[in-house]
Chains A and B, each alone.
Chain A
Amino acid sequence: MHRDGNGIAAGSGQQAAAAGTAGRRRVPLLSALGRAARAVAWLWLFAVGVAAWWVLSAHSTSLYFPPLEKILRQLYALWIAGSARGQLAASLEQFAAGYAIAGLGGIGIGALLWSVRGVREATSPYIYFLYVLPAPALVPAVMTIFGIGFTMKVVIIAFAAIWPTLLNTLDGMRGVDEIKLDTSRVLGLSGFRAVRSVVLPAAAPQIVAGLRNSLQVAIILMVVSEWIASTGGIGYFIVNAQQAFNYLNMWTGIIMLALIGIVANLLFVLAENWLLHWHYAARAKEAR
């Protein structure tokens, strides 16, 4: 829960910041793009892997492992040009709604728990209980309450993904430097304004680390919720294809999921670098 930044983002952030302090002032978005580009530069290794897969599977006649070329053609036909687009959209909608609720809810509830000590202490056993409960175990219960559909899946995703953000927000806010809080009182900030202008940004690095964990969880639960109870969506598509012995389609779904994960993470890193550029740059300066 204590991850502060992470591999790609932090590492590349430092380089860019070190380069950045010399000349630039104002272009966090551009330098974020630069950092992302550097992260992407390592993709050659990935490209080698894909090429190997392509070559080794080219003449495969196995029902289970069709040639990559064939998978990709089918992927295009289904997910980009064809009928599965609707499934994809449905999944992404649920994911986006669930993740948004988890993110905003996590930050909001975390901030509330931080600011009202009584509430924090009273709710902490419940929070701990809910936190250790594996979210998929709740699917049957949520199904009973919300039925099979959009709401149920959003609830599952939000419920599972809220914890990393909530706990990191609480923890990050607890860890805000006393002097920064004293300073905010001296400057005259109070209540909501102090939280928005000082506590939130000061805890932002840790909150963002929480949001990143929540993102992974949300993607996982997007799929899992569709396995268990759904008549559509990408997770449903994969299971359905597998049960119909359509392994080609199954593989396209899996690759599509990987692509979704990559794009989501990339967007996240971009947003993170833009939002926390001050953090990485200041840390890079300190390290020198």
Chain B
Amino acid sequence: MISRDVGAPGGAGRAAHAGSGVPVVSLRHVRKSYPAGGRAGAAERLALADVTFDVARGEFACVVGPSGAGKTTLLRCLAGLMPPTSGEALFEGNVLRRVPDRVGVVFQDYSRSLYPWLTVNRNIALPLKVRGVDKATRAKRIAEVLASVGLAGVGRQYPWQLSGGMQQRVAIARSLAYRPDLLLMDEPFASVDAQTRFELEDLILRVRDEFNVTVVFVTHDIDEAIYLADRIVVLSASPGVVAEIVDVALPRPRDQITTKSDERFARYRQKLLGLVMAR
């Protein structure tokens, strides 16, 4: 079992974004087990064995790993949606006890995370209301984020009236509207077609710069991880441990055609495929 602690952040890809001091996200020997279903006293199912890594301010980190490596569990611990069984999950230096106000989460299934009884505007307004943003500012912010995700003018429609890709844009807009420091994304583009997926990848890189947000992005798609990330955390097969952390030194801004045809891209892919398929 390999567990790597990558201490202080630093390195090629994220120089432009790297901030100072406390990492935005910090996992210390996180272990998570679930009670095995049904029988009392049965052995528990271990989802994460020992995960340790940091994510610096402004960094774009991807988490990859084979199915069942505990990627979603990891993200839920990062979000404060559930506590680790042991070890610590810190957000900006504080132990997570609930979902912090300055964390946004985009789930894979937009049709389940958007509220179908609310229009797009009202979906986005919801977290703003909770945070006490007044009505005029809400309207301004909503227009702003919708424009940022390329959806100006759909605010009065219901999410289910939009295409899948557009719905996921709404979900992204909703999580950006309250200006989070950290955006967590759980395989957000796994349910859309390939073309839309490329568009959304470029979109997330753009809004990440625009909103100056740190991103932790879970995916099972290695190409996607390389294309997006400053750094890739590779989880091993179940139970999850950090197999390796790979710095992605590809230049930015990235571009679907030139970046993906870069020979370094191919080398990263080879390396990561080897890691993910190792066991």
Chain A residues with CB under 8 Å of chain B are 21, 25-26, 177, 179-180, 182-183, 185-189, 193, 197-198, 201-202, 204, 278-279, 281-282, 285-286
Least Cβ–Cβ distance between B111 and chain A, in angstroms = 9
In Å, the complex CA distance between A177 and B116 comes to 12
**Interface pair A281/B158, CB less than 8 Å apart:** yes
Given contacts A179-B113, A183-B113, A183-B115, 4 further A-B contacts (CB under 8 A): A180-B113, A183-B107, A188-B127, A286-B160
A185 in contact with B161 given A26-B156, A179-B112, A279-B117 (CB within 8 Å): no
B226 within 8 A of A: no
The one of B109, B126, B156 in contact with A179, judged by C-beta atoms closer than 8 angstroms, is B109
Question: Which residues in A have their C-beta under 8 angstroms from that of B101?
Answer: 188
Q: Is residue B242 contacting chain A, with contact meaning CB distance below 8 A? A: no
25 A–B contacts, CB within 8 A, in A order: A21-B161, A25-B156, A25-B157, A179-B109, A182-B105, A183-B105, A183-B115, A185-B99, A186-B104, A186-B105, A186-B175, A187-B174, A188-B127, A188-B130, A189-B130, A198-B115, A201-B115, A204-B117, A278-B117, A278-B158, A279-B116, A281-B158, A281-B160, A282-B116, A282-B158
Instruction: Point out the residue from A179, A188, A279 that lies within 8 Å of B131, measured CB to CB.
Output: A188
A-B residue pair count with CB separations less than 8 angstroms: 65
- Chain B: CB-nearest residue to A276: B117
Asked whether A177 and B98 contact (CB < 8 A) given A187-B130, A278-B117, the answer is no
A197 to B125, CA, bound (A): 12
Look across to chain A and name the residue whose beta carbon is closest to the beta carbon of B106: A186
Q: Does B103 contact A (CB under 8 A)?
A: yes
Task: Report yes or no: B127 in contact with A187, Cβ–Cβ below 8 A.
Answer: yes
* Cross-chain contact A185 with B113 (CB below 8 angstroms): no
Partner of A197, one of B104, B105, B126, B174: B126
Given contacts A25-B156, A185-B81, A188-B131, contact A278 B98 (CB under 8 A): no
On B, residues with C-beta under 8 Å from A are 76, 79, 81, 98-99, 101, 103-105, 107, 109, 112-113, 115-117, 126-127, 130-131, 156-158, 160-161, 174-175, 178
- Tell me whether B81 and A182 are in contact (CB under 8 A): yes
Q: How far is the CA of A197 from the CA of B161 in the complex (A)?
A: 21
4 smallest beta-carbon distances between A and B, as pairs: A179-B112, A187-B127, A282-B160, A188-B130
Min CB distance A199 to B, Å, is 11
Contact across chains for A186 and B116 when beta carbons are under 8 A apart: no
CB atoms of A193 and B130 under 8 A apart: yes
* A217 smallest CB distance to B (angstroms): 27
Most buried by B among A26, A183, A187, A188: A187
Q: Contact: B126 with A189, CB < 8 Å?
A: yes
Residues of A within 8 Å of B99, CB to CB, are: 185-186, 188
Give every chain B residue within 8 A of A197 (Cβ-Cβ). 126
Whole-angstrom CA separation of A252 from B81 in the bound complex: 62
> In whole angstroms, how far apart are the Cα atoms of A183 and B109 in the complex?
11
